[in-house]
Amino acid sequence: MRIHSPTGPVDLHLTDTDNGRPTLLLHGGAGPRSVAGLGGLLAPDRVLVPTHPGFAGTDRPKWLSSIQALAGIYQDLLDELDLADVLVIGSSIGGWIAAELALRHSDRVTGLVLINATGIEVPGQPVADIFGLSLAELADLSYHEPDRYRIDESTFTAEQREELAGNRATLTTYAGDMTDPTLLDRLAGITVPTLVAWGASDQICTPTYGRAYAAAIPDAHFALIDRAGHLPQIEQPQALLDLIHSFTGTHADLLVAGPAQRPARR
């Protein structure tokens, strides 16, 4: 799908179930396959899963080079599709993008689910430096049971190696060291119901980091997921799905009402 951004056109690879209430599902640095299973579980909602330009072999315009710029693209996407009452779910940098999208105060976004989101700076809780790690080493930080998900890069085809290198280069371009020193303070501007879900065994962004994320967002709810690391949608998908359903059920009136009808938050 071509997005007509004010900065320039962007060709966006997008899967869209085109049925029910819209959910925008944003992947992290592990790529779109890392959220594919969760997208399937969210049915019968309408689930839109874009591939961030530059990931999975897709093209990225040179000017599209920051998390905030990506958030702008997804605002343009919601505008072009004329979607309202959108629940935005983001994993890792996808959570960071989701937070930035909510901070743009789009009337189309009425709820957030941030899953082990990156982006903030928390004293004493640095985001792990993942860029020099092999996939096997990265698994140690990412999973509660890393041996179940460890990948042997020596078995990769040339095409798979090229895609992995492209993903890492794109992640560096968008996210830098995975933090924005301004984001923590700006999170106070989020005005939609927010769930911050966190894998208890995450060693990329610790649960302490996650609690700081939730504490910075007015009225956000923090939930810890046992026996999961940085990608609970892979290790504990049903537990995460139950949290999402509980959250949307609790806030059903607010999520459906939209920003214009939502009572002021204190």
Q: Identify whether 18 is part of a domain.
A: yes
Of 232, 122, 218, nearest in space to 178 by CA: 122
Per-residue pLDDT of the chain (266 residues; tens, 9 = 90+): 999 999 899 999 999 998 888 999 999 999 999 999 999 999 788 999 999 999 999 999 999 999 999 999 999 999 999 999 999 999 999 999 999 999 997 789 999 999 999 999 999 999 999 998 999 999 999 999 999 999 888 899 999 999 999 999 999 999 999 999 999 999 999 999 999 999 999 999 999 999 999 999 999 999 999 999 999 999 999 999 999 999 999 887 766 544 444 444 43
Residue 144 corresponds to which amino acid? H
Q: Identify whether 264 is part of a domain.
A: no
For residue 90, the SS3 value is strand
**What's the confidence (pLDDT) of residue 266?**
33
Domain containing residue 249: CATH number: 3.40.50.1820
H-helix segments, 55-205: 67-81, 93-103, 135-142, 158-175, 183-186
Q: Is the pTM of this model over 0.75?
A: yes
Q: Identify whether 266 is part of a domain.
A: no
Query: Positive or negative, the Cα torsion across 89, 192, 209, 246?
Result: negative
Residue 117 corresponds to which amino acid? A
Name residues whose C-beta falls within 8 Å of residue 20's C-beta, 6 or more positions apart in sequence: 43, 44, 45, 46
Residue 10 corresponds to which amino acid? V
What CA–CA distances, in Å, run from 199 to 75, 171, 181, 209? Answer: 28, 21, 23, 11
**What's the confidence (pLDDT) of residue 20?**
86
Q: Identify whether 143 is part of a domain.
A: yes
Q: How far is the C-alpha of 261 from the C-alpha of 253, rounded, in Å?
A: 10
Cα dihedral 249/216/108/193 (nearest 10)? 20
HSE-CB at 1 with a 13 A cutoff on CA atoms is 19
Q: Give the count of domains, the chain.
A: 1
Q: Identify whether 263 is part of a domain.
A: no
What range does the domain containing 227 cover?
2-257
